[in-house]
Structure 1
Amino acid sequence: MNNPFSEIKELLPFEAAFSLSEIVSVSSESISRLSTEEKRELELCKSHKRQREFVTSRITLKEMARKIGDRQEFQILKDELGQPFGKTNSQEFFVSIAHTDDYVLCGLSRDHPLGVDLEPVDRTVPSRLKHRITHSKETDVASEIPLIRLWTIKEAYIKLRGQGLRMNMNQVQITRESDRMFAKINNDKRAKICSFRLKNNWLAVAYYH
């Protein structure tokens, strides 16, 4: 993909924005761009690494909201399950966030849920964990792609569902149809997966189609 995010957006049945941003430093300038509630949440981040991830994701999402035409004050809040969502005075947004040591990946949509994830291409997943990641019926898929790529695909789907640690990866089944990949759990509605490599990371976007 020459411009993977543009190609993904063309596939989506709804409007969405995506951004892969390098982690920024925590400075007085970056903090000034946060809302009062976001500043309070920043103070609860115990490590400098987590503070940098937090600031980068919030600034990135604010810029994304402006690009899709919302000029109101935009902030990120969390629901009762700890899932992030975007909010202005007049509207709420679906949000998904993922990060590595170097990058933050954000997805934003006005109308439809989505899930994103990324991991470094060179991250090694111990083989002993394979049974915790793979579904019993997806041995072909698991043998065709790197395990860390499969990890991002499933993590994006889990974020789409908003269930986080309440769902095990091996509950999620990935299937292929031609050059397309889908994810589902049991007989629930399946999601489409876009999976690609960018800046030495595996990225995945999950959405209902």
Structure 2
Amino acid sequence: MELLNTSSITDFPEHVILGYTEIRSGLSDEMLSEDEQKEWNGFTNQQRKNEYLSARHLFKEMLSVSGLNSDHEIFKHPLGKPYAQNENEKLFVSFSHSKKHVFCAISESVDIGLDTEWLDRKVDQRVVKRILGESEWEVFSDEDPILLWTIKEAAVKCLGTGLRTNLKELEIQKKSEIEFLVRINDEKTFQICSFQELNHQISIAY
């Protein structure tokens, strides 16, 4: 497990901790709560089980090295968005998996959504047509599809709906090379910090 040093990343949200680890097999499941055990046992794909367990171990390790209370358990909102809770406080949590790694963002004070993609992943340019609205097309049609995808997915993960939300309903506005705004139907706005590290595009919405 490693914590990502974000001190030099302009516009990275304050009070957010970002960590990552390789997806591992053979990890103990004893630290899972009863509800997590049920969810984990329900997976039939071994890779998905490894991702899930690696994410939970990463979360616990991040609590320990960050000086946060280790008794937080992860729960989910009705649509599946995770958060962590103990008797006294709530933590905002978001996970993202790539080909070989799992990432976790934790915040005590701001709601967050995290998405990551491996930069070497081949993404068809037609993906851009499926996620850009008309007002975005002239500005972003030549942009890297991985950047656009992670920005929008981070936003809907922060919103809590995930891909139930049509990504064309989200409008991206660029403020700098790594800072963006995402508006959803003119009703809600998220700030996005998107940067490249560890051969990944990493986008965090808050």
TM-score (norm: length of structure 2): 0.88
Q: Which amino acid is the alignment partner of residue 88 of structure 1? A: N
Query: For residues 92-111 of structure 1, what are the alpha-carbon distances to aligned partners after superposition, in whole Å with 9 as ceiling and x for unaligned?
Result: 21111110120111111122
Q: Which amino acid is the alignment partner of residue 100 of structure 2? A: D
2:122 paired residue number: 124
Q: What is the Cα-based RMSD across aligned positions, in Å?
A: 2.1
Query: For residues 129-179 of structure 1, what are the alpha-carbon distances to aligned partners after superposition, in whole Å with 9 as ceiling and x for unaligned?
Result: 322111211224424531111101110011111111221111111111244
SS of alignment partner, residue 138 of structure 1: helix
Structure 1 residues 9 and 32: CA distance shift in structure 2, 3 A: farther
Contact 2:11 2:193 (C-alpha < 8 Å) held by counterparts: no
Contact 2:150 2:202 (C-alpha < 8 Å) held by counterparts: yes
Which is worse superposed, 96-105 or 65-74?
65-74
2:67 paired residue number: 69
Contact 1:26 1:55 (C-alpha < 8 Å) held by counterparts: no
SS of alignment partner, residue 5 of structure 1: coil
Contact 1:38 1:75 (C-alpha < 8 Å) held by counterparts: no
Structure 1 residues 176 and 185: CA distance shift in structure 2, 3 A: same
Partner Cα separation in structure 1 for residue 21 and residue 139 of structure 2: 29
SS of alignment partner, residue 190 of structure 1: strand
Give the structure with the higher percent helix.
1
Show the 5 A alignment for 1:40-189. Answer: 40-179=38-177, 180-189=179-188
Contact 1:72 1:88 (C-alpha < 8 Å) held by counterparts: no
Question: Where does the alignment leave 5 or more consecutive residues of structure 2 unmatched?
Answer: none
Query: For residues 80-101 of structure 1, what are the alpha-carbon distances to aligned partners after superposition, in whole Å with 9 as ceiling and x for unaligned?
Result: 2221111223222111111012
SS of alignment partner, residue 195 of structure 1: strand
Q: Please say if 1:190 is aligned against 2:189.
A: yes
Partner Cα separation in structure 1 for residue 139 and residue 196 of structure 2: 17
Question: Where does the alignment leave 5 or more consecutive residues of structure 1 unmatched?
Answer: none
Partner Cα separation in structure 2 for residue 36 and residue 79 of structure 1: 16
Q: Which amino acid is the alignment partner of residue 23 of structure 2? A: I
Seq. identity, %: 33
Question: Could you tell me how far 1:36 is from its partner in structure 2?
Answer: 3.4
2:32 paired residue number: 34
Question: Could you tell me how far 1:117 is from its partner in structure 2?
Answer: 0.3
List 4+ stretches of structure 1 deviating above 3 A.
7-11
Q: Which amino acid is the alignment partner of residue 89 of structure 1? A: E
Structure 1 residues 141 and 24: CA distance shift in structure 2, 3 A: farther
Question: Could you tell me how far 1:11 is from its partner in structure 2?
Answer: 4.1
Contact 1:57 1:106 (C-alpha < 8 Å) held by counterparts: yes
Partner Cα separation in structure 2 for residue 189 and residue 37 of structure 1: 32
Q: Please say if 1:18 is aligned against 2:7.
A: no
